[in-house]
């Protein structure tokens, strides 16, 4: 083989850092982690199993169905989304902040000096994975619950609002995973990212309930967890945001957090 042939075979173009190559690298990296496979599996398990349990034990005559009185097929079958959102958010935090804890992030940034493609690739991997798992789990939980719920509570897929809730659950969970990535890259600490994730999705709405009623009704609908969760509610509360507006507000929270992570990534060292 001649020198010219070797130079042609190993041309610089073959070693360029491109977006698709970074995305493939991050995808392979994520699925090499046992923790990633476990968290994604747990999310699917929570969606399907909790929906199955609540659907099989639901009694319309009872007024004590848990912390919330679920009165429709969507609310009952998607109860597992409350747990799946935490698992998928943690999934996002782990794949973003985990490398900072092990020090492998330095090797990643040596391979991708521009850095930002790493953030976008992690966000895409986490978001797409959570979207697929969330949508599949939501449909699975609903279809299983359909055969278990009593007459009068059952709803077919063609009923108004059902498909919106099920696909909306997948979109919301996908955004939650991206939210976790953004928090992980922003804080660069797994424990800190998970703490802020739980606070944003669960604690802030509960704290808002301690405010005066007029303040609560004004502020609470725009909090991350409350806003995003509106897309999964079949019959929205008049005081809450509409499903589309709620998902848009939560997407804005995610976008702001991603912007903050981008700023820190560009301005500070690993």
Tell me what the pLDDT averaged over the chain comes to.
86
In a domain, 3, yes or no: no
**pLDDT score, position 229:** 92
pLDDT above 60 (res 33): yes
**pLDDT at residue 4 is higher than 50:** no
Residue 9: pLDDT above 80?
no
Decide if 11 is inside a domain: no
Is the pTM value of this prediction over 0.85? yes
Which pLDDT tens digit goes with each residue over 102-143? Answer: 888 888 888 888 888 899 999 999 999 999 999 999 999 999
Percent of the chain having pLDDT more than 90? 51
Domain membership of residue 24 (yes or no) is yes
pLDDT given at position 270: 62
Q: Is residue 237 part of a domain?
A: yes
In a domain, 43, yes or no: yes
Q: Which pLDDT score is estimated for 15? A: 61
Domain contains 13: no
What is the structure's pLDDT at 157? 87
Work out how many domains the chain is built from and give that number. 1
Check whether 254 has a pLDDT greater than 90: yes
Which of the listed ranges 10-24, 186-200, 256-270 does the model predict with the highest average pLDDT? 186-200
Question: In which domain, by residue range, is 78 found?
Answer: 19-267
Q: For 178-208, what is each residue's pLDDT tens digit?
A: 999 999 999 999 999 999 999 999 998 888 8
Q: Could you tell me if residue 188 is left (phi over 0), alpha (psi between -120 and 50 degrees) or otherwise beta?
A: left
Does residue 19 surpass a pLDDT of 90?
A: no
Distance CA 249, CA 115 (A): 27
pLDDT-based confidence at 80, cuts 50/70/90? very high
Quick check: 59 pLDDT over 80? no
- Please report whether residue 108 resides in a domain: yes
Residue 188 in domain: yes
Q: What is the mean pLDDT of residues 42-69?
A: 76
């Amino acid at each position: 083989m001649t020198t010219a042939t070797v130079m042609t075979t190993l041309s610089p173009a073959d070693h360029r850092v491109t977006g698709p190559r970074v995305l493939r690298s991050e995808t392979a990296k994520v699925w090499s982690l046992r923790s990633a496979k476990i968290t994604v599996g747990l999310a699917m398990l929570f969606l399907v199993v909790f929906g199955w349990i609540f659907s099989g034990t639901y009694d319309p005559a009872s007024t004590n169905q848990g912390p919330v009185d679920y009165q429709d097929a969507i609310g009952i079958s998607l109860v597992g989304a409350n747990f799946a959102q935490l698992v998928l958010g943690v999934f996002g935090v782990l794949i973003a902040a985990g490398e900072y804890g092990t020090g492998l992030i330095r090797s990643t940034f040596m391979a991708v000096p521009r850095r930002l493609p790493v953030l976008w690739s992690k966000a895409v991997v986490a978001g797409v994975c959570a979207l697929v798992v969330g949508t599949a789990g939501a449909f699975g939980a609903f279809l299983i619950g359909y055969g278990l719920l009593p007459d009068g509570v059952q709803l077919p897929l063609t009923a108004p609002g059902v498909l919106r809730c099920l696909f909306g659950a997948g979109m919301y969970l996908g955004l939650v995973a991206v939210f976790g990535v953004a928090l992980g890259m922003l804080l660069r600490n797994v424990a800190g990212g998970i703490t802020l994730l739980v606070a944003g999705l669960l604690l802030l709405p509960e704290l808002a309930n301690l405010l005066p009623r007029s303040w609560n009704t004004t502020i609470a609908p725009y909090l991350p967890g409350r806003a995003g969760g509106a897309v999964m509610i079949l019959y929205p509360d008049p005081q809450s945001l509409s499903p589309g507006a709620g998902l848009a507000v939560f997407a804005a929270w995610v976008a702001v957090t991603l912007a903050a992570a981008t700023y820190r990534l560009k301005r500070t060292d690993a």
